[in-house]
Chain A
Amino acid sequence: MAKHKVKATAGGGQSQTKEIIRRFKKNRSAMVGLAVFLIICLIAIFADVITPYSNAIDQIKGARLEAPSSEHWFGTDHLARDMFARVIHGSRYSVVFALVVSACALVISVVLGGVAGYYGGWVDNLIMRILDIFMCIPGDLLALCIVAAFGSSLPNLLVALIIGRVPATVRIVRATILGISSADYIEAAQCHGAKDARIIAKYIIPNAMGPIIVDATVNASRIIISVASLSFLGLGIQAPAPEWGNLLASAREYMRTCPWLVYLPGLALVITSLSINMVGDGLRDALDPKIRD
């Protein structure tokens, strides 16, 4: 009987947020993930301090496809460029895309999903049917089509990935908001005569934020993979820019003789995406402790 009391209460509030933060801090893997992701962010910000961008682009005479050494920590690629510098600078693309795309997708989805979920009726129907159509197109094909039509410049890529992410996120936001707005405490607030704006600000947003933020983190890690995939197909960030997917694409031909060209950028990719997933996981557990009973 006593176990029923963990369920979150209405109205969010300070103490609940504190409790969530406390639980998050207790989760060791989430804290490790957060630390790793922050380090990667720092690497991205201070990439030029670690090694100048020219190192990632300039060719070093007579140093083609060299194995990792004390001079070139990650070896060199087929155009005799320092892989360490390329991997370091590649972090910028991943971090920027992850943050910008997931943040934009989050904002757009909260607006669309919020409107659909809270108002319902024909607005809901219209938004959801349109998104159903977007959801029919497999995987990153929609983003690929956008890139094909408009070109793969940086802003186009951002837009393409945002559009690719929005439909699924809207669904989650809408479902969350629907769940909350049909909850008894919303009805109670309406009976007290609370206005729509107050209900949205005081009840719906604080209670919906949890699952939505968790989804945004999951999205961020998927976006990193999507960007790399597009670039790997040659339809994302264009060479010679040192995007990790690019590095892997050009490594394909030299895989047999120079496997480090596959291992290292791939590992960088996996570690980044893994660190975000670990944070997302920790957030999920912190928000919803009932599964751990």
Chain B
Amino acid sequence: MSEKLLEIKNLHVMYHTDLEDVYAVNGVNLSMKTGETLGLVGETGAGKTTLALSILRLLPDRTGRITEGEILYNGENLLEKDKHTMATIRGKEISMIFQDPMTALNPTQTVGQQIYEALMLHNNANLSKKELWERVDSCLEMVGIPAARRKEYPHQFSGGMKQRVVIAIALCCEPKLLLADEPTTALDVTIQAQVLMMMKNLRDRLGTSMILITHDLGVVAQVCDNVGVMYAGEVIEYGTLQDIFKSDKHHPYTEGLFGSIPKLDEETERLAPIDGLMPDPTQKIVGCSFAPRCPYAMDRCHTEKPGSCNDNGHQIKCFRYTDETAMEVSS
């Protein structure tokens, strides 16, 4: 077992606005090893993006607040770092690819300048300007864009090309950990596959660890080693790709998630979507967050929070399993 690269302990995040308080992340525990790719799946509003932003401490200044928990990167708590230290970590140690490439680039700077800036900010090797620009060129070529296009502005690029630029910015300093927040959602399906393959190749080449946020289980199956399933701000199931895709034991929500995907090799009359909606995030949840929609819900599910059961690393937060296979129960 190699050392833990990232460990998130009991993380709570809320958004506080004039109108209401939103509980976005409610007690997430996660850990990942160096070189691993962790997939985070879940529907919109499950707190995936908030989780990623929390790691980089990029939550909106005024509204987003980490109320509890620790984020340990190489054993050091990122939440205790001052902003200068954080700035040296961002981009160099941990970087992020955002969901919407259309708005993620500064419209008034050339793409070259934007990659250059990332390199220049973390220029520990004291490269000269010329050398940095050479790096910019090689970064662009790395993501499949001719270096000559570095003088162009974002509006001259297509969505897929913009996302490549965003990826180039994120990877140009060869970070240890890459947070990819639905990197392909905003793209055409054909481009999605291209960009995904490219990311996969770059990850393997640079040896980057990655957290891939998506709601596309197909993508997860292609790229990830481990998977966390998020629901209402919690990781309700976590395991290896095998555990999630092949095991019989699942959180009822994960079952529902798989039930709502069409399968090509089976004759199904219709899909089995999950009834109901995600709980109102402005309310604090008592009991299991999935209980109102759960077909197996018991009385205690509505009043008590289930701990997570651990079966050789396959963790499920559900009372159906905690009783039988409780080996190592954490909060």
Contacts and interface: CB of A to CB of B under 8 A. Distances in A.
Interface of A: 1-3, 6, 289, 292-293
B40 to A, nearest CB: 13
A3 B18 contact: no
B19 A289 contact: yes
Interface string B47-58: 101100000000
Contacts of A3: 15, 17, 22, 60, 63
Contact of A293 (B17, B24, B49, B50): B17
Interface residues of B, number: 15
Closest CB pairs A-B (n = 7): A2-B22, A2-B281, A1-B45, A1-B49, A293-B63, A293-B17, A2-B15
Contacts of B19: 6, 289
Given A3-B63, A293-B60, 19 more contacts: A1-B24, A1-B44, A1-B45, A1-B47, A1-B49, A1-B50, A2-B22, A2-B24, A2-B45, A2-B281, A3-B22, A3-B60, A6-B19, A289-B18, A289-B19, A293-B17, A293-B18, A293-B62, A293-B63
A59 B17 CA distance: 59
Contacts of B60: 3, 293
Interface in B158-174: none
Interface string B261-281: 000000000000000000001
Contacts of B44: 1
14 contacts: A1-B24, A1-B44, A1-B45, A1-B50, A2-B15, A2-B45, A2-B281, A3-B17, A3-B60, A6-B19, A289-B18, A293-B17, A293-B18, A293-B62
A6 B19 CA distance: 9
Contacts of B22: 2-3
Nearest to B44: A1
A184 to B, nearest CB: 17
Nearest to A3: B15
B15 to A, nearest CB: 6
Contacts of B18: 289, 292-293
Interface in B19-46: 19, 22, 24, 44-45
B99 to A, nearest CB: 10
A292 B62 CA distance: 10
A28 to B, nearest CB: 13
B18 to A, nearest CB: 6
A243 B124 CA distance: 70
Contacts of A1: 24, 44-45, 47, 49-50
Contacts of B281: 2
A6 B20 CA distance: 11
Contacts of B47: 1
A289 B45 CA distance: 21
